[in-house]
Structure 1
Amino acid sequence: MPDRQVIADFARSMGIATSGLRAQAGRMRVISENIANADSTASTAGGDPYRRKVPTFSSELDRSLDANVVALGRVMPDATAFRVKHEPGSPAADVNGDVKYPNVNPLIEMTDMRDAQRSYEANLNIIHATRTMIQRTLDILKS
């Protein structure tokens, strides 16, 4: 019979990696929203357009695992200035003919998306490796 500590370590490893998957999936959702709204304008003349959102992470104690896990924290608005273009014919233009566009840089968003994707894949690899170790442990115990 496997030692209880070994079983707990496997469960802890899977739980921590799963929390990483959830956090990175949430991060990718926020980044996707930013990319989708990169060229949107305000619905009213002179109004503010979509404001870029920045995901944060927090560390939480999972009492059932007795381990610190990661979670998607608050999603904060990016306070940087909007892009402004002079487009007097646009329905979103202010009295000066300027249109505000979101403070979203698609290149930065794609870089962040790639980073989130790699972190997600790293957590998947941890889960796969842990499952392989569990299977090998069971195979050893059967023989």
Structure 2
Amino acid sequence: MDLKTSLGISASGLRAQTLRMRVIAENIANQDSLATTPGGDPYRRRVASFRAEVDRATGGMEVRVDRIQTDRSDFQSVYDPGHPAANAEGYVLKPNVSGLVEMADMKAAQRSYEANLSAIEAARSMTMRTIDLLK
């Protein structure tokens, strides 16, 4: 594998994990976003999924965002008859976002991002050593 291919693979990983962290941050920011109308749905958690794709220019496998989909798990309901979004029985639907799950996902995305940065730094370091040897 040449330098350009390895850098392209790591760069695609950086882009993918950056988007994943943005989606997770959006989930965390909206974990308390309730509906504004009676019986309405609150914020629904979103999840980024990836796929491997061959880069035709380099022949290396790269990471691409396949899609950002909504989590179809059930909402929690809380009894709060005074809330504007309460249904006829007085229950309000809460988002299907768990702060603990989101923080674990954020930590995993951060570690993947750091691993890609380390790979780029290793490739740069090897290139600099090669240049030094040629001097």
TM-score (norm 2): 0.97
* Equivalent position of 1:134 in the other structure: 127
Count of residues paired in the alignment = 135
* Equivalent position of 2:41 in the other structure: 48
Q: For the pair shown, which has the larger CA radius of gyration, 1 or 2?
A: 1
* Equivalent position of 2:62 in the other structure: 69
* Equivalent position of 2:16 in the other structure: 23
* Equivalent position of 2:53 in the other structure: 60
* Equivalent position of 1:4 in the other structure: none
Q: What is the one-letter code of the residue matched to 2:102? A: E
Q: What is the one-letter code of the residue matched to 2:33? A: S
What secondary structure, in the 3-state scheme, does the structure 2 residue paired with 1:117 have?
helix
Gaps of 5+ in 2: none
Identity of aligned residues (%): 54
Deviations 1:94-115 (A, max 9, x none): 1111000100010000000000
Hey, what's the Cα distance between the residues in 1 that align with 2:80 and 2:58? 56
Hey, what's the Cα distance between the residues in 2 that align with 1:31 and 1:133? 34
Pairing 1:109–2:102 present:
yes
Q: What is the one-letter code of the residue matched to 1:9? A: D
What secondary structure, in the 3-state scheme, does the structure 1 residue paired with 2:18 have?
helix
* Equivalent position of 1:88 in the other structure: 81
Runs of 4+ aligned structure 1 residues displaced above 3 Å come to none
Deviations 1:24-57 (A, max 9, x none): 0010011011111101101211100111111100
Hey, what's the Cα distance between the residues in 1 that align with 2:47 and 2:68? 6
Hey, what's the Cα distance between the residues in 2 that align with 1:21 and 1:72? 11
Gaps of 5+ in 1: 1-7
Root mean square deviation of aligned Cα: 0.9
Deviations 1:66-88 (A, max 9, x none): 11100121111111100110000
